[in-house]
C-alpha cells in the first residue's frame, strides 16, 4: 500500500485510535538519520519540524496536534520547484516565434509550450508521486477525463493566460492546485514574467515570494476595483450576459474594472488586496483551483455567481475580499451556465 493510501485509510479511523497510532509510531517507527521511512515522505524530520499540522481531511483534524506530520509539504515543495522550472521554459519560449493552434474555437488558443510545460509537470509528478491523479488543461483537451475524486489530485494549468503568452502581454502564470478529499490542500501560482511565486497551504495562509498576503479590508463596492474577463466564448447569448454584468457593475459605480488576462493572476490580485473581487463565468477548474485557495487563505471568500457555494467544476466563480462585496457583486451579475467541466461527454 502506498504512503497516501495508507494515510487515507488511517483518516477514516476514530480520532482516539488515530492518535494512539501516532503515539506508537513516534516511539517505534522513526527512521535512522538518512534512512527512508515506510510511512512518511522524504525529509520527514525537517518538514515535520517546519510545518507540523493536522493530517489530511477534515475528519482527521480532531485529535491531531502539532506533533503530527505534514505529509503534503514534500509535494508542495516539488510543485514550487516545478512551477519555477516551467516559468523558465515559458520565458525562454517568449524569445522565439510561438506557433499558435486553436482548441474549442478560433480564439481558444494553445501553443506547443502549453503542451510541453504540462508534460514536464505531469511526468515529474508521476515519477515522484506515482499514485497521484491529475487534471491538466492540455490533457483534458487531448481527451482525458476531468473528474475530481477523493484521491490526491494535481490540477494543472501549464500556462494560464495563453492568449497573453501568444501576444507577449506580460501576465502569464503556471497554476498548480493540489486537492485531497476534494478539498484544496496547497496552491502554487507562479507569475513567470513578474517572477512572483504565490503559494498557499490550507490553514497556513497565503504568500507571495514568502511575504504573507491579506485581502483588502474595503467593504464598500463603490470604493472597489473588480476584475473579470471576457472569456473565449463568442456565443451571442453568453456575450450579452457578460456585457450586461459588466455594465451593471461599472455603473454601480465601482472605481474600476480590470482583467489581467489570467484567472489565476486575477485571483492572486484579490489575495494581495489590490483588487476587491474577481468574477467570471466560463473559466475551468484548472484556471481557478490554485487561486481559490490563495484567496481563502488570504482571508477572502468564494461564491457561485448566483450566491450559492462555489463549485470549482461549475465554470463559475466569485472570489472576493469579503462576503459583503461578494454578495453585492452577485446582485449585479447576469449569470449563465456553461457545460460543467465534469459533464459526461
Ligand atoms: O489561458 P487559459 O489557460 O486558456 O485560461 C484563460 C481562461 O480559460 C485565462 O484564465
Ligand atoms: Mg487557464
| Average pLDDT in the chain | 84
Per-residue pLDDT at 344: 83
SS3 readout for the chain: CCHHHHHHHHHCCCHHHHHHHHHHHHHHCCCCCCCCCCCCCCCHHHHHHHHCCCCCCHHHCCCCCCCCCCCCHHHHHHHHHHHHHHHHHHHHHCCCCCCEEECCCCCCEEEHHHHHHHHHHHHHHHHHCCCCEEEEHHHHHCCCCCCCCCCCEEEEEEEECHHHHHHCCCCCEEEEEEEECCEEEEEEEEECCCCEEEEEECCCEEEECCEECCCCCCCCHHHCEEECCCCCCCCHHHHHHHHHHHHHHHCCCCCEEECCCCHHHHHHHHHHCCCCEEEEECCCHHHHHHHHHHHHHCCCEEECCCCCCCECCCCEEEEECCHHHHHHHHCCCCCCCCCCCCCCC
44 lines ligand 1 (CB under 6 A): no
pLDDT category, 341, cuts 50, 70, 90? very high
Place of cell 480520532: 15
Residue range 302-328: average pLDDT?
98
266 lines ligand 1 (CB under 6 A): no
> 205 in a domain, yes or no?
no
Active site residues: 137, 157, 159-160, 162, 287
Q: Whose CA is nearest to atom 7 of ligand 1?
A: 283
Which atom of ligand 1 lies at the shortest distance from residue 160's CA? 3
pLDDT category, 345, cuts 50, 70, 90? confident
Q: Are residues 88 and 185 in the same domain?
A: yes
User: How, if at all, do strands 225-227 and 256-258 pair?
Assistant: parallel
Side-chain-facing half-sphere of 125: CA atoms under 13 Å? 28
Residue range 83-110: average pLDDT?
94
> 245 in a domain, yes or no?
yes
Q: Whose CA is nearest to atom 1 of ligand 1?
A: 161
Distance from the alpha carbon of residue 158 to the mean position of ligand 2, in angstroms:
8
Q: Are residues 168 and 122 in the same domain?
A: yes
User: How, if at all, do strands 133-136 and 109-111 pair?
Assistant: unpaired
Distance separating alpha carbons of residues 199 and 321, to the nearest angstrom: 18
Residue range 223-243: average pLDDT?
96
CATH code, domain with 153? 3.30.540.10
* Largest Cα–Cα separation, the chain: 66
110 lines ligand 1 (CB under 6 A): no
The neighbour count for residue 124, using CB atoms within 10 Å, is 16
Q: Are residues 292 and 268 in the same domain?
A: yes
Which atom of ligand 1 lies at the shortest distance from residue 158's CA? 3
Quote the domain boundaries for residue 241: 221-330
pLDDT category, 245, cuts 50, 70, 90? very high
Q: Whose CA is nearest to atom 8 of ligand 1?
A: 283
For the stretch 257-313, pLDDT in tens is 999 999 999 999 999 999 999 999 999 999 999 999 999 999 999 999 999 999 999
How far is CA 180 from each of CA 149, 254, 290, rounded to the nearest angstrom? 8, 37, 13
Q: Are residues 56 and 82 in the same domain?
A: no
138 lines ligand 1 (CB under 6 A): no
Q: Check whether 113 has a pLDDT greater than 80.
A: yes
Q: Are residues 117 and 162 in the same domain?
A: yes
> 207 in a domain, yes or no?
no
Q: Check whether 236 has a pLDDT greater than 80.
A: yes
Q: Which of 108, 139, 161 maximizes ligand 1 atoms within 8 Å of its Cβ, making it the mutation to test the pocket?
A: 161
Our measurement of the distance from residue 329's CA atom to the centroid of its chain's CA atoms, rounded to an integer in Å, reads 22
> 48 in a domain, yes or no?
yes
pLDDT category, 55, cuts 50, 70, 90? very low
Q: Are residues 239 and 299 in the same domain?
A: yes
Q: Which three cell numbers stand for residue 83?
A: 512551477
pLDDT category, 255, cuts 50, 70, 90? very high
Q: Are residues 236 and 300 in the same domain?
A: yes
Per-residue pLDDT at 180: 96
Q: Which three cell numbers stand for residue 260?
A: 489581467
> Which ligand gives the minimal distance to the CA of 289?
2
Whole-number percent of the chain with pLDDT over 70: 80
Per-residue pLDDT at 225: 98
pTM value?
0.82
Domain final position from 60, 85, 100: 60
| Sign of CA pseudo-dihedral 194, 138, 290, 305 | positive
Q: Are residues 191 and 117 in the same domain?
A: yes
316 lines ligand 1 (CB under 6 A): no
162 lines ligand 1 (CB under 6 A): yes
Q: Which of 176, 258, 283 maximizes ligand 1 atoms within 8 Å of its Cβ, making it the mutation to test the pocket?
A: 283
Place of cell 473565449: 232
> 337 in a domain, yes or no?
no
> 206 in a domain, yes or no?
no
Q: Are residues 52 and 81 in the same domain?
A: no
Q: Pick the more confident residue, 27 or 343.
A: 343
Whole-number percent of the chain with pLDDT over 90: 77
Count: domains in the chain: 3
> 70 in a domain, yes or no?
no
Q: Are residues 18 and 112 in the same domain?
A: no
Residue range 24-31: average pLDDT?
30
CATH code, domain with 268? 3.40.190.80
Residue range 149-171: average pLDDT?
97
> 25 in a domain, yes or no?
yes
Amino acid at each position: 500500500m502506498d504512503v497516501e493510501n495508507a494515510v487515507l485509510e488511517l483518516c477514516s479511523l476514530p480520532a482516539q485510535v488515530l492518535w494512539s497510532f501516532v503515539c506508537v509510531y513516534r516511539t517505534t517507527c522513526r527512521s535512522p538519520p538518512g534512512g527512508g521511512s515506510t510511512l512518511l515522505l522524504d525529509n520527514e524530520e525537517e518538514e515535520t519540524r517546519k510545518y507540523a499540522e493536522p493530517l489530511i481531511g477534515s475528519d482527521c483534524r480532531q485529535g491531531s496536534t502539532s506533533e503530527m506530520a505534514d505529509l503534503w509539504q514534500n509535494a508542495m515543495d516539488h510543485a514550487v520547484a516545478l512551477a519555477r522550472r516551467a516559468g523558465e521554459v515559458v520565458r525562454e519560449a517568449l524569445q522565439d516565434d510561438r506557433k499558435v493552434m486553436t482548441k474549442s474555437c478560433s480564439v481558444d488558443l494553445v501553443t506547443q509550450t502549453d503542451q510541453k510545460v504540462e508534460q514536464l509537470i505531469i511526468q515529474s509528478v508521476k515519477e515522484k508521486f506515482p499514485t497521484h491523479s491529475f487534471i491538466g488543461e492540455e490533457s483534458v483537451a487531448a481527451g482525458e477525463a476531468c473528474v475530481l475524486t477523493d484521491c490526491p489530485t494535481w490540477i494543472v494549468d501549464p500556462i494560464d493566460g495563453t492568449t497573453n503568452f501568444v501576444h507577449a502581454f506580460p501576465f502569464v502564470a503556471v497554476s498548480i492546485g493540489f486537492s485531497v478529499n476534494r478539498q484544496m490542500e496547497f496552491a502554487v501560482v507562479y507569475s513567470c514574467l513578474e517572477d512572483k511565486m504565490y503559494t498557499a497551504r490550507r490553514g497556513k495562509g497565503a504568500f507571495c515570494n514568502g511575504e504573507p498576503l491579506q485581502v483588502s479590508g474595503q467593504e464598500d463596492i463603490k470604493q472597489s476595483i473588480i476584475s473579470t474577463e471576457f472569456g473565449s466564448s463568442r456565443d451571442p447569448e453568453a456575450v450579452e450576459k457578460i456585457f450586461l454584468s459588466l455594465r451593471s457593475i461599472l455603473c454601480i459605480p465601482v472605481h474600476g474594472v480590470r482583467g489581467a488576462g489570467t484567472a489565476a493572476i486575477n485571483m492572486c490580485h484579490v489575495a494581495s488586496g489590490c483588487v476587491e473581487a474577481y468574477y467570471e463565468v466560463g473559466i475551468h477548474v484548472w484556471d481557478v483551483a490554485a487561486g481559490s485557495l490563495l484567496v481563502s487563505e488570504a482571508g477572502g471568500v468564494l461564491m457561485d455567481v448566483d450566491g450559492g457555494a462555489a463549485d470549482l467544476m461549475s465554470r463559475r466563480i466569485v472570489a472576493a475580499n469579503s462576503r459583503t462585496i461578494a454578495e453585492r457583486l452577485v446582485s449585479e451579475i447576469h449569470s449563465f451556465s456553461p457545460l460543467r467541466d465534469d459533464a459526461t461527454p
